[in-house]
Amino acid sequence: MTNPPDQPGASAIWGGRFAGGPSVVMQRINASIDFDQRLYAQDIRGSKAHCRMLVATGILSAEDGEAIVAGLERIRQEIESGALTFRSELEDIHMNVEARLAELIGEPAGRLHTARSRNDQVATDFRLWVRDAVDGMGSALQGLQAALIDQAETHAATVMPGFTHLQAAQPVTFGHHLLAYVEMFGRDRGRLADARARLNECPLGAAALAGTSFPIDRRQTAAELGFDRPAANSLDAVSDRDFALEFLAAAAICAVHMSRLAEELVIWTTAQFRFVSLSDAFTTGSSIMPQKRNPDAAELIRAKAGRVIGNLNALLIVMKGLPLAYSKDMQDDKEPVFEAADTLELSIAAMTGMIRDLTVHAERMAESAGAGFTTATDIADWLVRVAAVPFRQAHHITGRIVRLAEERGCGLAELPLGELQAIDGRIDAQVYSVLPVEASAASRTSYGGTAPANVAAAVLAARQRFL
């Protein structure tokens, strides 16, 4: 026997159309309250704005409007205190709030949904949530940049090997290396800011898909909610999630940057490198090997990048085949965004802590900076600059010098002048002045180069640009 529409079992939302209620399985697959309850603050904020607009346009009485706003504020307090229990049979945060509002104020609660659909309601809530997440993530990245800049300032003249192909290439300064990540995270903040600017249009008032016949004022609700303008097309307003995709794309790129820095921390903390040490706060030990200090926080940041990238792919796949306007597939838009935001927020916090607590082993870095004939390019440059040798010829001459040093099992600076001159007679004793790693790094004074003086100036510029 089926349930009459107004009895338990039929949906309180759309029971008038259906004689019976959904199966238990249908209830489970249809409900989103387990995750979209995170939208409660945005949902209540949007409902208050919608209510005040309805009153201002004469669609709703002032008395009903006051009761609705007061009831919504009480619901917000109940949720934040843990006093309100969400009900899965009400499907989502919107209907849970509306049902509780009806319990509190009675019939006026049913007037709140005038000139509104859950389609424009959730699109508005979700944009508000993503906007808040962008602001929080931008602030967190700024904190990470500050930690990197502080370390870069301290180590503006600390020489280390620079790598290509993970092979020693040329000496650089540790401060210069860290400032590279400051630039990357600055672009990440820029991408987030760009996404925020594009998402800042208000869907509220688009209703289900076609707008509404009520004389609403969409500019009023948009302004109250901090949007730049109402969304221009009602179909687009409720049916696209490119703002969420753009947020996820920016988050995925940021997670990749985080993963690259995490990988370097993992490498640098090995016994083979010993460039840096992480504090006890961000490392763990081994259950069997008492000597171990494992860079688990860095490794987990590296792993979590894959989850953020996966979240982007998941939502792209959800959206790729959907015709206009709204489809229930889009209920699965929130979990990837929530998880990506949570994951990246935690990763940024952990990375910021590791960078601030970092112990740098400058002597070990300097020792390693000269390994692998990293100042060979300096010899070639010296031949060009002092002896007017064409660079391609200088490159060939320097290659023969490197081969000789390999055969002798010594560094470039340890080769006798006579043997260097046997390779090319234009070489004189001045060449030895460019071979120390400190001299090599100090000579890279071109804009954006690694010279300590450049790094000191870049630190000041970065503070002005990013902090």
- The DSSP H or E segment spanning 208 is none
Instruction: Output the six-digit token pair for 47.
Output: 């409902």
Residues with Cβ < 8 Å from 157, sequence gap 6 or more? 173, 175, 438, 441, 452, 455
Q: How far is residue 117 CA from its own chain's centroid?
A: 32
Report the amino acid identity of residue 99.
A
- Active-site residue, 279 included: no
Residue 402 burial by Cβ neighbours in a 10 Å radius (0-12, 13-18, 19+): middle
Q: To 10 degrees, what angle do helices 296-319 and 334-357 make? A: 160
Q: How far apart are CA 34 and CA 86, in angstroms?
A: 8
Cα torsion through 316, 317, 322, 326, rounded to 10: -60
Cα dist from 362 to 89, 277, 413, whole Å: 62, 11, 21
Question: Distance between CA 404 and CA 420 in Å, rounded?
Answer: 9
Q: Which helix (H) or strand (E) holds 173?
A: strand 167-173
**Integer Cα distance of 72 and 98 in angstroms:** 9
Question: Letter for the amino acid at 19?
Answer: A
d(CA 443, CA 126): 52
Indicate the residue type of 34. D
Q: Give percent helix, percent strand, percent coil of the chain, each to the nearest 5.
A: 65, 5, 30
Q: How far is CA 372 from CA 58, 296, 382, in A?
A: 79, 30, 19
In DSSP notation, 126-164 reads: HHHHHHHHHHHHHHHHHHHHHHHHHHHHHTTT-EEEEEE
Interatomic CA distance for residues 94 and 44, integer angstroms: 9
Query: Is 286 in the active site?
Result: yes
Selecting among 165, 213, 287, 446, the annotated active-site residue is 165
Residue from 23, 61, 139, 286 carrying the catalytic annotation: 286
Q: Which residue has the tokens 């489809």?
A: 327
Separation between Cα atoms, residue 76 and residue 40, nearest integer Å: 7
Write out the catalytic residue numbers: 165, 286
